[in-house]
Amino acid sequence: AKTRGSLVDGIAGLFNQQKLDDDLLEELHERLFRADLGIDTADTLVDHIKGEFSGREQSPTWDEVRMSLKARVAGMFADSERNLNQPQEGPFVILVVGVNGVGKTTSIGKLAAHFLAQDKNVLLCAADTYRAAAIDQLQVWGDRLGCDVIKHQQGADPASVAYDGVKAAKARKSDVLLIDTAGRLHNKAELMDELAKIRRVIGKDLPEAPHETWIVVDATTGQNAFQQVEAFSQVAPLSGIVVTKLDGTAKGGVVIGVTNKFKLPIRYIGVGEQASDLREFQSSDFADSLF
């Protein structure tokens, strides 16, 4: 499933009939804003269109405007691209973090399926020992996919589960270790300290690990995504974003500004609740689904 409907439904007609004046630019700004791009990114894009076309004799058609917007957005994404820090040997450790309910555990299930499809050996680690039945939830994913889950009891120290996860991944020569963490709001110092500790402990036995730390951002999130990424990067330096729930009506436009501001690449997108509902991020597809 793709992001349904276009944020610019109905605006195409306007462009093809009207002059490129302030009213039309304001209309464009509103459409962009409604996709959660935020004022700054919407301003940037509107200014871009103004600069590109306002000197021209002939008003641009919607197709021209759309192509230009897409190119600009793709440029913003390209700016923050970076390669995966995958180790030559030993387990590839990915730590997954984010606020409550965004889709961390589900994304781990989907990522596991994705790596299994590449014939990798995948191990899961249940370092959310806090939320009710969080361990069971990950175990169900493990059972579904046939991968083992390293876990402790509910209420155990999450850092020690993560530590055991790394140890087990090394001992079993796993290719990939996916570490699930509890959802936490980024303004809670204690929980953020806990995350810093989890991260530290992961590196104890495997100095390079975690090789990747991904923050999961829910596509319905508004401007708070900026605060989330900012705060999480401070305790657990981030190397990528996973955007979930892009199968809904929310466009997830906030991630354009977020990737651009923090120079963080989007790694994957979630487009459903099943194991197969994960896609590698393609900036052109994302821009397509927006415009």
Partner 1 sequence: MLDVISSGFKEAKLKFKGKATLTEENIKEATSAIRKSLLEADVEYGVTKTFIKRVQEKALGQEVTLKAGKAQSKMKVSPADHFINICQEELEGLMGPVDSELKYAVNRPTSIMMVGLQGTGKTTTTGKIASFLKNQKKRKPMLVAADIYRPAAAQQLKVLGERIGVPVFHIEGENPVVICEEAKKKAFEWECDTILYDTAGRLTIDETLMTELADIKSSTSPDNILLVCDAMMGQDAVTTAKSFDELLEISGVVMTKLDGDARGGAALSIKEVTGKPIKFLGMGEELDRLEEFRPEGLASRILGMGDVVGLMQDFERV
Query: Using CA atoms, how far apart are residues 54 and 25, in angstroms rounded to an integer?
Result: 10
CB 168 to partner 1: min, Å: 22
* Residue 222 binding partner per list partner 1, ligand GTP, Mg ion, none, with a CB distance cut-off of 5 to 8 Å that depends on partner kind: partner 1
State CA 64 to chain mean position distance: 29
Helix pair angle (104-116, 134-145), 10° resolution: 20
* 255 in Cβ contact with 289 (< 8 Å): no
* 94 in Cβ contact with 214 (< 8 Å): yes
* 36 in Cβ contact with 251 (< 8 Å): yes
Asked if 244 is part of the footprint of ligand GTP (rule: CB under 6 A), the reply reads yes
* Residue 271 binding partner per list ligand GTP, partner 1, Mg ion, none, with a CB distance cut-off of 5 to 8 Å that depends on partner kind: ligand GTP
Q: For residues 227 and 284, which CB has a smaller minimum distance to partner 1 in the complex?
A: 227
Which residue in the set 183, 210, 257, 265 belongs to the binding site for ligand GTP (CB under 6 A)? 183
Backbone angles phi, psi at 270, to 5 degrees: -105, 130
Asked if 34 is part of the footprint of partner 1 (rule: CB under 8 A), the reply reads yes
Which residue in the set 75, 101, 203, 237 belongs to the binding site for ligand GTP (CB under 6 A)? 101
Query: Using CA atoms, how far apart are residues 181 and 157, in angstroms rounded to an integer?
Result: 11
Q: Which stretch binds ligand GTP (CB under 6 A): 9-17, 26-34, 63-71, 182-190?
A: 182-190
Q: Which of residues 112-131 bind ligand GTP (CB under 6 A)?
A: 128, 131
Q: For residues 135 and 201, which CB has a smaller minimum distance to partner 1 in the complex?
A: 135
Contacts of 133 (CB under 8 A, 6+ apart): none
Query: Using CA atoms, how far apart are residues 97 and 143, in angstroms rounded to an integer?
Result: 22
Asked if 3 is part of the footprint of ligand GTP (rule: CB under 6 A), the reply reads no
State CA 248 to chain mean position distance: 15
* 274 in Cβ contact with 284 (< 8 Å): no
Which residue in the set 110, 114, 186, 211 belongs to the binding site for partner 1 (CB under 8 A)? 186
- How many CB atoms neighbour CB 249 within 10 A? 10
Q: For residues 211 and 245, which CB has a smaller minimum distance to partner 1 in the complex?
A: 245
Asked if 104 is part of the footprint of Mg ion (rule: CB under 5 A), the reply reads yes
* 7 in Cβ contact with 31 (< 8 Å): yes
Q: Which of residues 234-253 bind partner 1 (CB under 8 A)?
A: 245, 247-251
Q: Which of residues 45-84 bind ligand GTP (CB under 6 A)?
A: none
Of residues 171, 169, 123, the one with CA closest to residue 145: 123
Q: For residues 15 and 268, which CB has a smaller minimum distance to ligand GTP in the complex?
A: 268
Asked if 102 is part of the footprint of ligand GTP (rule: CB under 6 A), the reply reads yes
Query: Using CA atoms, how far apart are residues 288 and 150, in angstroms rounded to an integer?
Result: 40
Name the site residues for ligand GTP (rule: CB under 6 A): 98, 100-106, 128, 131, 134, 182-183, 185, 216, 244-245, 247-248, 270-273, 277
Q: Which residues bind partner 1 (CB under 8 A)?
A: 4, 30, 33-36, 38-39, 99-103, 109, 130-133, 136-137, 139-141, 144, 154, 185-188, 218, 220-225, 227, 245, 247-251, 254, 273
